[in-house]
């Protein structure tokens, strides 16, 4: 299976800044046969960057999109409109869940819309600090996972990438707030068991699982060695050229 290194730029970079950064990133990256490097700029930058990007070296992802293909939905961008521009889309990120109020029902529709429009969804799931403290991690992970997958056929399951992002570990600079590899391994094992129990081993063996949560060059290797992990979803470090390329090099040594 491929190793995925996905950089989520969130609400950073103007279109011009994104173009300059992408140019530098492409110059710094060799082709990786067994690795997929993906970057997710803001929506306004996707179309111009799609004309600039070398798709042999990396691919584009949307940070979010709306599940309807067209209609009276002011301010939204559909997966249909993104088709041909991006290859991937981040769906159900915790910031969409907890800041903008997306629920599992809407997220399931977005996953289905992405698949329908030949865009691979990266379905983000993860528990908050309070949910973990109250012992609710298992229920939250199962609900978000199965809820997000509820509107696609079993045959399409392998088109979905799952990203475990514990909300309590995102954007943290404190060691005490970082998820340990053992903690990640426990949840990844739960994710894969839930998939097998629900869909069967054959339908789920090609499903990739990523980890995201304050990943940086120092801890990337440890997370990539967690059993069942196929790559990383990276926030802050994806905005710093040297850190992002260092993580890619770590991944190349560990996984390829």
The residues annotated with a catalytic role in the active site are: 93, 165
Residues 6+ apart with CB under 8 A from 52: 19, 22, 23
Tokens 């570990």 identify what position? 169
C-alpha distances out from residue 215 to 110, 126, 225, 232, Å: 26, 15, 13, 8
Check: CB of residue 177 under 8 Å from CB of residue 227.
Answer: no
What DSSP state is assigned to residue 91?
E
CB 101 within 8 Å of CB 64:
no
């Amino acid at each position: 299976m491929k190793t995925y290194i996905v950089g989520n730029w969130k609400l950073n970079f103007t279109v011009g800044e994104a173009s300059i950064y992408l140019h530098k990133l492409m110059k710094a990256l060799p082709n990786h046969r067994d690795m997929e490097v993906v970057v997710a700029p803001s929506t306004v930058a996707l179309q111009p960057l799609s004309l600039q990007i070398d798709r042999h070296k990396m691919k584009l992802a949307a940070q979010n999109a709306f599940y309807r293909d067209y209609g009276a939905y002011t301010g939204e961008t559909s997966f249909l409109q993104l088709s041909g521009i991006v290859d991937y889309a981040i769906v159900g990120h915790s910031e969409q869940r907890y800041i903008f109020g997306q629920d599992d029902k809407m997220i399931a529709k977005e996953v289905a819309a992405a698949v329908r429009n030949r865009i691979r969804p990266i379905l983000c799931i993860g528990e908050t600090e309070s949910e973990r403290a109250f012992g609710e991690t298992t229920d939250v992970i199962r609900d978000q996972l199965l809820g997000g997958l509820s509107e696609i056929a079993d045959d399409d399951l392998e088109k979905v990438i799952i990203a475990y992002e514990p909300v309590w570990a995102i954007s943290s600079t404190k060691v005490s707030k970082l998820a340990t590899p053992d903690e990640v391994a426990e949840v990844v094992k739960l994710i894969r068991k839930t998939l097998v129990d629900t869909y069967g081993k054959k339908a789920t063996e090609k499903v990739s699982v990523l980890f995201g949560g304050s990943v940086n060059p120092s801890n990337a290797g440890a997370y990539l060695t967690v059993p069942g992990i196929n790559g990383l979803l990276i926030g802050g470090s994806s905005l710093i050229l040297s850190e992002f390329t260092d993580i890619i090099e770590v991944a190349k040594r560990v996984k390829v």
